[in-house]
Amino acid sequence: MNLAKKNNKAAIFNLIALLLVIALWPGTQLLAEDNQSSSRNEIPQAVQYTLTINTNDGNGVIALSPAGNVQAIKIASIGNSITVGYQLPSSDSYPSQLQVLLDATYGASTVEVQNFGHSSRTMVKGSSFTYWDSSRFAAAKNFEADISILLLGTNDARVSIWNDFGTNYPSDYIEMISEFKIANPSMQFLLGYPPPVFVYTTWNDNIINGVIPGVDNALNETNTQLIDFNTPMQNSGSLFPDNVHPTAEGYAVMAGIAHDRLVATSLISSLLPGTPTFEENEIVTLTATPDAGYSFDGWSGDLSGTSNPVTITMDADKTVTASFSLQSEMIFSDGFESN
């Protein structure tokens, strides 16, 4: 009995000693200290909110102070090796040259052009090299562009691919537009006629008689606009040394076509100046300035009243509308009034 009691006491003593060793073991202390240090060093992510400004009929302007952070308008260039810039430095590709032209037109950092081209890819799903399976397609959707330029069809027009899957080209095209709109429902599109293919007669015939009508069908079925890389380049065989891919000079022509089309359609200007973002609880001053012959009537949305200027605290996403109206009486230089 005494021996059993001694053994029990010894076991309890050993257990207590073991617990003390674990508690005081340097690695255990460091782990606890690291956890506390990690917790202390965590930097909370800054919360930002958007301020959307509207005016009725655009009869005045709203100035913000501070101006906030305005995100660049994002353009995604979707395509195959012609978009990549086949066997040339990336700076020679048409998307890179388009970026330079847009910077000159709208100012640096106003527009961001990203190249999501993938060589050999097709629009049709059934081919072994479909863009649908490309990592560039996933990246393009994640980019959530404001504007996408779709230029897929040259590889679809290859005789073997077109014979097997060409009938699916129009429906796969429309489905791809729908896929992009899941990422950004307000995304706008320019659908491209591919450049001509030279020498390879049947291949080029499939572009003219198959791909281009397929693009037209997508244009008719969706709220999209055309960008024609085909017609302006039909007599430019010298810019296509392998009869399919342009030189750097040829890509410059394509960039010019894309630039002029973006300007003509007002797709970029309609998005300017962009929606600014502000830090949480930042105070923003809004000043309404009516156009000549108009007067400022007041605020609505997340502001009310007629104070001008007025401040708003950015503790959530805000939308503010400024209302202007035509002045009922104007005094002309001859002294007569107009009612």
- Say what percent of the chain tops pLDDT 90: 70
Give the domain ranges of the chain.
48-68+276-338, 72-271
Residue 87's pLDDT is: 94
307 compared with 24, residue with greater pLDDT? 307
Q: How distant, in Å, are the alpha carbons of 135, 313, 318 from that of 73?
A: 23, 26, 20
Neighbours of 188 (CB within 10 A): 19
25 compared with 287, residue with greater pLDDT? 287
Exposure b/e, 72-110, CB count within 10 A at least 16 = b: ebbbbbbbbbbbbbbebeeebbbbbbbbebbeeebeeeb
Question: Both ends of the chain: CA-CA distance in Å?
Answer: 117
Residue 46's pLDDT is: 75
∠ CA 75-81-85, rounded to 5°: 70
**Which class does domain 72-271 fall in?**
alpha beta
Mean local confidence (pLDDT), 146-151: 97
Residues 104, 108, 112, 116, Cα dihedral to 10°: 60
| pLDDT digit string, tens, across residues 309-339 | 999 999 999 999 999 999 875 544 455 544 4
| pLDDT digit string, tens, across residues 65-97 | 998 888 889 999 999 999 999 999 999 999 999
**Span of 147-161, 232-246, 271-285 with lowest mean pLDDT:** 271-285
| 317: Cα separation from own chain's centroid | 20
Residue 38 has pLDDT above 90, yes or no: no
Residue 295's pLDDT is: 93
Neighbours of 319 (CB within 10 A): 14
CA pair distance 219, 229, nearest whole angstrom: 15
Average pLDDT, the chain: 87
Closest to 253 measured CA to CA, from 284, 228, 285: 228
Closest to 72 measured CA to CA, from 148, 182, 146: 146
Residue 39 has pLDDT above 50, yes or no: no
Three-class SS string for 76-113?
Answer: EEEECHHHHCCCCCHHHCHHHHHHHHHHHHHCCCCEEE
Given a contact cutoff of 8 angstroms between Cβ atoms, the answer to whether 308 and 295 are in contact is: no
Closest to 213 measured CA to CA, from 189, 238, 194: 194
Residue 57 has pLDDT above 90, yes or no: no
217 compared with 26, residue with greater pLDDT? 217
Residue 143 has pLDDT above 70, yes or no: yes
Residue 283's pLDDT is: 96
**Span of 2-11, 142-151, 168-177, 296-305 with lowest mean pLDDT:** 2-11
- Residue 168 CB-density burial (10 A; 0-12 exposed, 13-18 middle, 19+ buried): middle
Residue 26 has pLDDT above 60, yes or no: no
